[in-house]
Amino acid sequence: MTVLCEVCHSYPATAFGYFQNRETGEARWKLVCCCVSYIEDYYIDFSAFTEDPVSWISHLMEKRWFNKVDFLNTLHRAGLETTPSTL
């Protein structure tokens, strides 16, 4: 499944990008392409995530800023399924 970048809407998304508004504290995961290079706060390439989703989820859960519900919603928008063993 090819999904377009949720920022520029012009190119296929290739990564999960995490963006935090420093003024409001609001943060969001988005499906992104290279258009957000240097402006996202964190990113994970789709290929790296799909190779080892369990390790990535474990790594992210160590981050105090990680919002699991938002990330799972982003996975769903990307067409990636999760299983209980992934979480």
Q: What is the DSSP string of the chain?
A: ---B-TTTSSSB--EEEEEE-TTT--EEEEEE-GGGTTT-SEEEEHHHHHH-HHHHHHHHHTSTT--HHHHHHHHHHHT----TTT-
pLDDT category at 80 given cuts 50, 70, 90 is confident
Query: Residue 18: its pLDDT value, please?
Result: 95
Q: Where are the domains of the chain?
A: 15-78
Query: Residue 25: its pLDDT value, please?
Result: 82
pLDDT above 60 (res 85): no
Q: What are 1-59's pLDDT values in tens digits?
A: 689 999 999 999 999 999 998 898 889 999 999 999 888 999 999 999 999 999 999 99
